[in-house]
């Protein structure tokens, strides 16, 4: 099995009540692939960077089993950069700087290997770029999962809907699900979104957890309540990466497998927020991950005696 992840590889700079990160690496494909690499090893990234992105960071990704041949380096360009500041509650933030740089002219060309993956994750990018990637796949992947955001719903809804027709699983947050469907009830929203293409829907609710919809089936996993959230950047991409990482590792596309995938994604996201950027994602070993998964079992499982 192999997995292709398309998304951003970027620089972030974060200001939180706990301190400043300085310029560190970030981006949806970075978080998702590092997260997935904790569960699965045949991952190809497709992205774009500038001359300023350090080669040793790419080497580090490769040491985690991530193929970086699909990361195009623009020698006279600069890497996508985002700077943000979190408020005291860590649940809201202000964007201070967004510099698209090389991302502005991202025209993905997939290496041979990336075209052959059985699993495809379309990170949050313009729908046109997501469609270009889909068109380059040698055969229809077993599972296409896609992330998007309200911004594309505002400015590119028709293109977004074209991509959605080809997607198996959509992962968005609750507000985005409401905007995309025009329904406030998430149950109704899921029904409308299924009519647009996806057969599975994962609604991310941040500190309130995640919901999985499939037909009339429904699964809800909470986020782990934490004493301290140090830096929530990338938690959503880490969740998605852990989700698809588990699906690839088990090579099982079923509702039960996706339940477990949600737990793995939630567990990895709970690690992600413990330190700045991707730091924590690189430190987790299998024993620590299993221990965290056990905490989700304790958090959610109960023994009902029906009489």
First vs last Cα of the chain: how many Å apart?
46
> At its nearest, how many Å lie between a second copy and the CB of residue 121?
22
194 touching a second copy, by CB under 8 A: no
165 touching a second copy, by CB under 8 A: no
285 touching a second copy, by CB under 8 A: no
188 touching a second copy, by CB under 8 A: yes
Q: Report the length, in residues, of the chain.
A: 307
75 vs 227, beta carbon nearer a second copy: 227
Among 104, 251, 256, 288, binds a second copy (CB under 8 A): 256
298 touching a second copy, by CB under 8 A: yes
98 touching a second copy, by CB under 8 A: no
* Candidate segments 78-86, 116-124, 127-135, 217-225, binder of a second copy by CB under 8 A: 217-225
* Candidate segments 111-119, 129-137, 216-224, 271-279, binder of a second copy by CB under 8 A: 216-224
* Candidate segments 7-15, 78-86, 103-111, 182-190, binder of a second copy by CB under 8 A: 182-190
Report the distance separating Cα 241 and Cα 37, nearest Å.
8
Report the distance separating Cα 210 and Cα 229, nearest Å.
18
Say if residues 79 and 104 touch (Cβ distance below 8 Å). Answer: no
182 touching a second copy, by CB under 8 A: no
62 touching a second copy, by CB under 8 A: no
288 touching a second copy, by CB under 8 A: no
275 touching a second copy, by CB under 8 A: no
Torsion of CA 295, 300, 305, 307, to 10 degrees: 180
140 vs 208, beta carbon nearer a second copy: 208
Among 211, 240, 248, 268, binds a second copy (CB under 8 A): 211
* Candidate segments 43-51, 86-94, 148-156, 237-245, binder of a second copy by CB under 8 A: 86-94
- Count the Cβ atoms, other than its own, within 10 Å of residue 75: 6
Among 263, 272, 273, 281, binds a second copy (CB under 8 A): 263
248 touching a second copy, by CB under 8 A: no
192 touching a second copy, by CB under 8 A: no
Q: Which of residues 218-247 bind a second copy (CB under 8 A)?
A: 218-222, 225-229
Among 89, 104, 109, 283, binds a second copy (CB under 8 A): 89
Interacting residue ranges for a second copy, rule: CB under 8 A? 88-90, 184-188, 205, 208-209, 211, 217-222, 225-229, 256, 259-260, 263, 290, 293-294, 297-306
């Amino acid at each position: 099995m192999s997995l292709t992840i398309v998304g951003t590889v970027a620089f972030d700079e974060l200001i939180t009540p706990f301190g400043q990160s300085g310029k560190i690496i970030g981006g949806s494909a970075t978080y998702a692939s590092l997260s997935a690499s904790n569960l699965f090893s045949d991952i190809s990234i497709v992205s774009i960077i500038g001359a300023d992105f350090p080669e040793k960071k790419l080497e580090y990704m490769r040491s985690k089993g991530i193929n970086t041949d699909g990361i195009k380096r623009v020698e006279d360009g600069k890497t996508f950069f985002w700077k943000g500041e979190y408020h005291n509650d860590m649940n809201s933030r202000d964007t201070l700087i967004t510099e698209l740089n090389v991302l502005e002219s991202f025209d993905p060309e997939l290496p041979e290997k990336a075209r052959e993956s059985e699993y495809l994750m379309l990170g949050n990018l313009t729908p046109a770029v997501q469609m270009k990637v889909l068109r380059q796949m040698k055969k229809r992947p077993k599972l296409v999962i896609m992330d998007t955001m309200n911004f594309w719903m505002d400015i590119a809804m028709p293109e977004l809907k074209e991509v959605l027709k080809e997607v198996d699983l959509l992962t968005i947050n609750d507000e985005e699900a409401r905007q995309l469907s025009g329904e406030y009830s998430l149950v109704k929203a899921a029904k409308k979104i299924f009519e647009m293409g996806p057969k599975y829907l994962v609604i991310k609710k941040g500190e309130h957890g995640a919901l999985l919809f499939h037909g009339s089936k429904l699964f809800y996993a909470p986020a782990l309540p934490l004493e301290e959230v140090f830096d929530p950047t990338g938690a959503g991409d880490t969740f998605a990466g852990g989700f698809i990482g588990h699906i690839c590792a088990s090579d099982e596309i079923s509702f039960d497998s996706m339940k477990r995938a949600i737990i793995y994604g939630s567990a990895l996201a709970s690690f992600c927020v413990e330190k700045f950027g991707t730091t924590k994602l690189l430190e987790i070993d299998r024993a620590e991950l299993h221990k965290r998964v056990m905490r989700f079992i304790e958090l959610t499982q109960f023994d009902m005696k029906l009489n």
